[in-house]
Amino acid sequence: MDIRGGVTIVTGSATGVGAAAAKLLASKGCNVVINYTKSEAEAKETQAECEALGVQTLLCQADVSKDADCRRMVAETMAKWGRVDALLNNAGTTQFVNHANLEGLDADDFQRIYAVNVIGPFQMTRAVTPHMKAAGRGAVVNVSSVAGVMGVGSSIAYTASKGALNTMTLSLARALGPEIRVNTICPGFIQGRWLRGGMGDAAYEAAVAGQERSTPLQRAGTPEDMAQAAVFFIDGTDHITGEFLIVDAGAHLGGAPLRAR
């Protein structure tokens, strides 16, 4: 898919992987929707950086766990450009709880995480589907996690949500073809405030060193690494759907324990 002049909605794009993906898309000439829930100032910074690359943007506050917000974001996109070529479902949430601490989570924790990490991508995909079908093409990329493949990560609730997102990717890829491709990237460790805040400074720095020491590529992942993989599924191929791409410097091959995004 040639995305120059096209439009991509990137959920959760104020910071991290979403911001990196929005800027990468902008560098390729793609107009972008910058979505945020609470981080308005950072979203505006991302918007300014994208516009400096010569594209148009739309800033949209919306909570993807709310269907009305999802439909409004897509409606505003269509009102501005009359098209939506790709959707990057990046918005996510978690709670950091050791997997052995079964009392550290309750049903509300699972439901809150599931609402953002699974129901959100479903609602966003549902909202863009009529427009992509009418155009005869479209790409949906979900940002999952190696947690959903290997049962690791910030909490069991998070891991379960990403496993569900992976399974939903398969269902949607079957249901929405041939016009719409649906794929998923599964990041491993990603440097940034998400993990630093959840792990604490000492554990975070130790994890970065561990990634650099133990992974086959001897490096800790960055938001830009993940953005490259996500954008590949938008503009790098027209013949892949229903696929998961693990992006973790080879950590899943074995070595030190993984801490997923």
Residue type, 176: L
* Cα(261)–Cα(248) distance, integer angstroms: 10
* Catalytic residue status for 204: no
Q: How many CA atoms lie within 13 A of 254 on its CB side?
A: 0
Instruction: Of 245, 6, 72, give the one whose Cα is nearest residue 145.
Output: 245
Catalytic residue selected from 36, 114, 158, 204: 158
Contact yes or no for 100/47 (Cβ under 8 A): no
Query: Is-contact 189 259, C-beta < 8 A?
Result: yes
* Tokens matching residue 157: 């609730």
Q: Which residues are known to be catalytic? A: 158
